[in-house]
Amino acid sequence: MNSSTGFVKVPGGKIWYQKIGAPKGTPLVVLHGGPGFPHYPLLPLKALSSDRQVIFYDQLGCGKSDRPKNKTLWKKERFLKELQILVNDLKLKDHYILGQSWGSMLAAEYALTSPKGLKKIVLSGPFLSTAKWIQDANKLKSKLPKRILRVLEKNEKAGTTNSKEYQKAEKEYNHRHLCRINPLPKLMVKCRKEGNLDIYNTMWGPSEFHCTGNLKTADLTKKLHEIKIPVLLTCGKFDEATPETTKFYKTLLPNAQMHVFNKSSHTPHLEETDLYMSTVRKFLNS
């Protein structure tokens, strides 16, 4: 398997990238989630390199990329500029984008700039509106055992979300709606180990279901109709990016299709890998 790595200079430092597969077909650029957690959980996507070159990268601040301490860098607009620089630096003409979780918002923002050569996007576990995300999270939290819910609410109200009891209670939510594999896959463990909580806390907050960061008002729902290219939306049946909200996003996109993975939560690329890959491959090859 052909593979090469390199670095690209972006505002704030250098980002690491890896190209896997021969340069044939239309390349796929993969945008990881977080914000602040690297590409490792998405590595199963290298299976798609039999059809095309697959390009992974770690956004600034995490994984193998530089880790500047300047918190003013952790803004959606800078991460969008970073992606644009990467595409230009790698001299990508026609290309596809796959964004997972936070990466889906980045992918949609990129598509909204109408970049030359962007042909299709995949929005996996889509995060396109913080209000919708939190609304869904509140519904999912309400189904947790009452003792766990009380711990979460008490600590959020007191501002003690860094407490051990809060983090322990948070794990139950994550096991149900983030990744249902137990124990966690090694790629997820490595992702957390090389993640950057400063970015996550600055942009999002202390947990998947409690937003206090600068993404608090993020909402693309009024702009999605401007994305005319083909879009594939995917989510798991138990996803924190719920099938109901994903279906709502589909109604806003003029040229979209959707697939729900019935045995998955937020990581069907790990939970139902073969089906996920065949679904994405079929969309990209169609």
Task: State residue 210's pLDDT score.
Answer: 85
Question: Model confidence over 81-95: pLDDT tens digits?
Answer: 999 999 999 999 999
Considering the chain, what percentage of its residues have pLDDT values greater than 90? Answer: 89
Residue of 85, 87, 111, 84 whose CA lies nearest to 99: 111
Q: Give the active site residues.
A: 101, 239, 266
Sorted by where each starts, the structural domains of the chain and their CATH numbers stand as 3-133+213-285 (3.40.50.1820)
pTM metric for this prediction = 0.95
- For residue 98, give every residue at least 6 positions away whose Cβ sits within 8 Å of its Cβ, in sequence order, or none: 28, 29, 30, 31, 45, 107, 121, 122, 124, 280
Query: Helix, strand, coil % (nearest 5) of the chain?
Result: 45, 20, 40
Residue ranges in the chain assigned as alpha helix (H): 76-89, 102-111, 130-141, 146-158, 164-177, 186-193, 197-203, 243-252, 268-271, 273-285
CA distance 285 to 232: 12
Question: Model confidence over 271-286: pLDDT tens digits?
Answer: 999 999 999 999 999 9
- For residue 13, give every residue at least 6 positions away whose Cβ sits within 8 Å of its Cβ, in sequence order, or none: 60, 65, 66, 67, 68
Phi, psi for 174 (deg, rounded to 5):
-65, -35
Q: DSSP secondary-structure letter at 233?
A: E
Task: State residue 1's pLDDT score.
Answer: 66
Indicate the residue type of 1: M
Question: Model confidence over 127-152: pLDDT tens digits?
Answer: 999 999 999 999 999 999 999 999 99
Looking at every residue in the chain, the average pLDDT score rounds to: 96
Coil, helix or strand at residue 97: strand
Q: DSSP secondary-structure letter at 210?
A: B
